[in-house]
Structure 1
Amino acid sequence: MVQWFQTKVIPFMSKISRLKYLLVLRDSFMLAFPATIFGSFSVVLMNLPFAPEGFTKIVTEIFGNANNATMAIMTIFVSLGIGFYLAKAKDYNDDAHFVAITTLVSFFLVTPTSRVLESGDTITGLFNISNLGASGMFVGMIVSFIAAELHCFVIKKGWKITMPEMVPATVAKSFSALIPMLFSLIIVTLLNYGITKISGNNLHVLIFMWLQAPLLGIGGTFGALMVTQFLIQLFWFFGIHGHNVVNPITSPIFTTLGLQNLEAYTHGQERVNIITQQFQDIFTVGLGGSGMTLIVVLMMIFVMKSKTLKSLGRLAIGPGMFNVNEPVTFGLPVVLNPLAFVPWVFGTMLCAAIAYFAMKFGLVPLTTGVAIPWTTPIFISGIMATNSLAGGILQLVQAAVIGIIWFPFLKAIDKQYLKNDIEEEE
């Protein structure tokens, strides 16, 4: 079975994880990470539990627009990133910024600027901010990839305006990008016009109904959580970075679900998505890294008897506090260790399920959609992700369950190392 997995499954999934479009998508989501962290901490400051009303009022006056300028317009950053990184992936480095402009403009071209109010009046000349965030995410991704490919196609064909050598380089590059950009924008405009006329709906409505809503519906289920967690842990068990394989596929869905929660949270509405990118980061990785091994490290130091595990625990506790657990994964080791398979894979799945049902039954608030760095220590990250003390307590409960599951297996590993220690001393 191990041989079959290593020779058949891992090479196949590794190829998927290296697909150009998935890598571009992954890098595009990370492009605005610093800005989204700023927006997220601003939202946290404006909604601190038990904060004095005067403090909240002042903070809101100062940072009130931070979310609208960052998280709420996430699709703009993703569209820019897709153009930039796809051009880089095709080795058109000098044209990357022009391709990014093409993808951004293309997204705006298909985004309606008119809205019908509840009163029945129609306003024009304004973008609906929800179309620039969660609602427009899949439109932005699809249109940006199409526009970027069209732009790169024209570059490859060599269709460009070449200026004389005496023309400044900046001006020459702008003219060189003119035909590729015009070609892409015209095609996108005509496609949008044709689809709109034939269907009677704009592209945002169509993609949301036929693609985004079904994918989000599937991605937000308990089954999707279990499959995702199982695959991540299984790949790690075989020495493959599970998150690098799975996240490029799941991140667009989980991030969009998180943005929906954020929109609801900032407007005082009920949050509906249990599974979000924040759930994945905080209530699985956030307990000591993949496998939730912080409690395992503590047991190595204070409960286990072998010198090897105690030394490994002292080495791993520092990184583990910030959810980096490669010392455990490769030092215990977890990789290809039969004694670690059950707690590593199924223990993590059980604890993810505990978090899911704790939120489903209202014991813990759902994640707010605020972006929390995955390196944030346990308990603090749980509170910040849910804006509730219950989020931190949930992480502690998960850690205790992981410790109980791991104990007999870790004890068996400890006996092996203890036997080796005795033999070395003799």
Structure 2
Amino acid sequence: MESEKFNKFVGILNKFAAVVNNQKYIIGIKNTFATLLPVIMAGAFATLFSSVVFSPEIGLAQVESLSFLAQFKPIADVINYFTMNFLTIYVVFVLGHEIGKLNKLKGVFPGVVAVISYLVMNPSFINFVTEDGTSLEIRNVLSRQYTNPEGLFLGMFMAVLSIELYTWLGNQDRLKIKMPDSVPEAVSNSFSSLIPTIFTITLSATFGFIIHFVTGMYASQIIYSLVQKPLEGLIQGLPGILLLMFVAQVFWVVGIHGMQMVKPIREPLLLAAIAANTAAFQAGEAVPNIVTMPYWDIYMTFGGSGATLGLLISIFLVSKRADYRKIAKMSFIPGLFNINEP
């Protein structure tokens, strides 16, 4: 009886896992962050070199014989700025492109539509107060809070929503501008996507206008306050990070890749935490986040999913079974790099 209940439970989890892993938005999000990991790491390394090597206050450049290194600091700073502080824009573009591919759309244009659809949801001005108390409105600029990780969740939402709308409009024959066969394919495709593009961008801007008109707040502020910030706070606490790991292990117990199941929740928050830490450190402020992707890799999955490095060491110490020891020998070196699924 107990075995039947357990098998039923396993069956339910397997069905749920299959639905999640085959869900195109989950696939798109996972592919997006896998694609952008080099960008995030480039920004992190730029911050490292800016502080540890090129800084004349705390880096190697403070040594008199190495003081020439300080002149290279602007290089690292500009790399950091255009990687970490534009992360949301890159995520929106790549996610729009990924959803477009899953919707059988060709080329990278869906990524462009996604970026524009996200940007028109945000204000194009900044209110600035001078030292003497004068309030100024600077127009035709985009505040950093809409390009850095604060805008991440709205950006992902708009990437998905805009490309789904763009795809649906593009499938309506009556909205297509058809050109003669003699017209080059690139030009014909451009005219075919003209009306869907205009409608998608216009509806996105109108949606943002209505939200601001009704609430007095911009959509990015609402999403960040109600969704992203609470999730960031939850995952930065011990109960939240343990709950996420517990959910992953429940799936592992029944033979489902638990890390892949929690990845769409984990990576946007933990990679954004890296970007927020890097930006704060670069600005000379206190680093706000303890739990980041490196924290997860080092303390939560040491040796790979399930923290199996200790298991391998125990096999070397006490196990007499040849098959266990053979697997342990093959697994140990990859395990040092947190790889153990194979």
TM-score range, shorter chain: 0.7 to 0.9
Indicate the larger mover: 191-200 or 207-216: 207-216
**Equivalent residue for 1:117?**
128
**Equivalent residue for 1:102?**
113
Once residues 157 and 323 of structure 2 are traced to their aligned partners in structure 1, the CA distance between those partners, rounded to angstroms, is 51
2:50 is the alignment partner of 1:42: no
Once residues 313 and 211 of structure 1 are traced to their aligned partners in structure 2, the CA distance between those partners, rounded to angstroms, is 43
Task: Map residues 26-37 of structure 1 onto 2, 5 A cutoff.
Answer: 26-37=30-41
Change (3 A) 1:282 1:113: farther
2:34 is the alignment partner of 1:18: no
Task: Map residues 403-418 of structure 1 onto 2, 5 A cutoff.
Answer: none
Q: Indicate conservation of the 8 Å contact 1:160/1:177, yes or no.
A: yes
2:311 is the alignment partner of 1:296: yes
Task: Map residues 24-423 of structure 1 onto 2, 5 A cutoff.
Answer: 24-48=28-52, 51-53=59-61, 54=67, 57-92=70-105, 94=106, 96-119=107-130, 120-158=135-173, 159-285=175-301, 287-327=302-342
Once residues 69 and 11 of structure 1 are traced to their aligned partners in structure 2, the CA distance between those partners, rounded to angstroms, is 42
1:282-312 C-alpha deviation (Å, 9 max, x unpaired): 3223x21112222432343355444333322
3-state SS of 1:121 partner: strand
Once residues 46 and 294 of structure 1 are traced to their aligned partners in structure 2, the CA distance between those partners, rounded to angstroms, is 34
**Equivalent residue for 2:64?**
none
Once residues 272 and 37 of structure 1 are traced to their aligned partners in structure 2, the CA distance between those partners, rounded to angstroms, is 18
Q: Which runs of 5+ in 2 are unaligned?
A: 62-66
Deviation at 1:156, TM superposition (A): 1.8
Change (3 A) 1:141 1:257: same
Q: Indicate conservation of the 8 Å contact 1:301/1:311, yes or no.
A: no
Once residues 129 and 314 of structure 2 are traced to their aligned partners in structure 1, the CA distance between those partners, rounded to angstroms, is 59
Q: Indicate conservation of the 8 Å contact 2:128/2:136, yes or no.
A: yes
Once residues 74 and 109 of structure 2 are traced to their aligned partners in structure 1, the CA distance between those partners, rounded to angstroms, is 37
Deviation at 1:183, TM superposition (A): 0.8
Once residues 200 and 35 of structure 2 are traced to their aligned partners in structure 1, the CA distance between those partners, rounded to angstroms, is 23
Q: Indicate conservation of the 8 Å contact 1:45/1:59, yes or no.
A: no
Change (3 A) 1:267 1:74: same
Q: Which runs of 5+ in 1 are unaligned?
A: 328-426
Q: Indicate conservation of the 8 Å contact 2:118/2:204, yes or no.
A: no
Indicate the larger mover: 113-122 or 239-248: 113-122
Once residues 47 and 340 of structure 2 are traced to their aligned partners in structure 1, the CA distance between those partners, rounded to angstroms, is 30
Once residues 214 and 295 of structure 1 are traced to their aligned partners in structure 2, the CA distance between those partners, rounded to angstroms, is 34
1:1-58 C-alpha deviation (Å, 9 max, x unpaired): 5313311223223312332212212222223222222222222222338741237624
3-state SS of 1:116 partner: strand
3-state SS of 2:290 partner: coil
**Equivalent residue for 1:414?**
none
Change (3 A) 1:109 1:216: same
Deviation at 1:322, TM superposition (A): 2.0
1:347-388 C-alpha deviation (Å, 9 max, x unpaired): xxxxxxxxxxxxxxxxxxxxxxxxxxxxxxxxxxxxxxxxxx
Q: TM-score, normalised by structure 1?
A: 0.71
Change (3 A) 1:126 1:56: farther
Q: TM-score, normalised by structure 2?
A: 0.87
Once residues 144 and 194 of structure 2 are traced to their aligned partners in structure 1, the CA distance between those partners, rounded to angstroms, is 29
Identity of aligned residues (%): 26
